[in-house]
Amino acid sequence: MNPFRRPLIAGNWKMNAGGQEACVLANEVAAKTRRFDRVDVVLAPPFTAIAAVAHEVEETRGSIDVDEGFGVGVAAQNMHHLQSGAFTGEISTPMLRDAGATWVILGHSERRQHFYETDHGVALKTKAALDAEIRPIVCIGETLAEREAGETLQVIERQLRAFMAAFEPSPGFGVIAYEPVWAIGTGKVAKPEDAQEVHARIRELLAEVSEEVAEATRILYGGSVKADNAAGLLEQLDIDGALVGGASLDAEGFVKIVEAAQQVADKLAEEEGGPPSGQRNAGELDADTGADERDTGDATSSEEGAPPSSADGVPASDGAVGIEPDDDDAVDDRENT
């Protein structure tokens, strides 16, 4: 973790926790993470629960805007790259915003594998999200066969080059998640030093866009992240947080991952001579009861010297170089492996 990038912990609920269950889980996570003031938290419920979760978070925390450091963000798990049209079953960026989502997960390996999403299709969605000022969390990662063949870095580079130019107009607005496919839902996790190697290479490639993009972009690790392995991963220089799958469905376990991020961030802030954790709040925050004694007028953004956690301007519509819409590119023609 780098002291000049706010850590981000995002929970991907996948096809779980809809309706009342989603509200209960969102409420508990929002209440129990309020004391972790150095960490951004995002929840990604199913489409049907986005509005309910956004409402629950606002009731509990007062905001779904993480830029102030107090709210919990709400993400969708996918979207279409067009704003409207005859696409039965699809969801557009205006619909996501209306429901309360300001983040979106794109290119998850399950989308690539089971729904045949291509690098080009992910790039189209990334550009569309940025144009709509919805923060994309774009996933990349290699399969077990690719890893065993020594192709990890080549696969990562191919997937990243498809969309990274779209990050140029608004450094730090988009997020990347490295998720080795062989580690998702398997209980296996990359060794911290191995994950760091891939994250460092991602940052090197981002530097080809610009040094500012490379330094400002948060790169998350995903793949069986749990409370007992989170700290080791987050202590790596280029790992800025985690995209959490199954463990995000258990509020206590997810909160422990957020706590691990807070502890690493506290340590780094202390080494940099920053203010103690919680100093910006006017009062003590009661995470368990949901009582919030802070003075909302004292809310500040990221630590002094850190890159902004939101874009200063609207992402430019022509930011993605070489990405042209192709309505026939919804899926590729490779076999489902």
Sequence-distant (≥ 6) Cβ neighbours of residue 327 within 8 angstroms: none
**Cα gap 138→170, rounded to integer Å:** 15
SS3 43: strand
Sorted by sequence, the CB contacts under 8 Å of residue 287 that are 6+ apart come out as 31, 32, 33, 34, 35
Q: Which residue among the candidates 56, 110, 117, 179 is catalytic per the annotation?
A: 179
108 is catalytic: yes
- Collect all residues with Cβ–Cβ distance below 8 Å to 66 and sequence separation of at least 6: 40, 41, 42, 72, 73, 309
Return the residue matching tokens 């749990």: 226
* Residue 307 CA neighbour count, 13 Å, CB half: 18
Cβ atoms of residues 105 and 44 within 8 Å: yes
Of the listed 80, 81, 108, 199, which one is catalytic?
Answer: 108
Helix (H, G, I), strand (E, B) or coil at 166: helix
Cβ atoms of 1 and 234 closer than 8 Å: yes
Give SS3 for 285.
strand
Catalytic annotation present for 179: yes
Nearest to 43 by CA among 104, 134, 2, 112: 104
Q: Which ranges constitute the DSSP H helices of the chain?
A: 20-32, 50-61, 93-99, 109-114, 119-131, 144-148, 152-161, 192-206, 211-216, 227-234, 251-271
With vertex at residue 14, the alpha carbon angle to CA 13 and CA 17, rounded to the nearest 5 degrees, is 55
CA distances from 302 to 8, 228, 270, 299 (A): 12, 27, 15, 10
Residues designated as active site? 108, 179
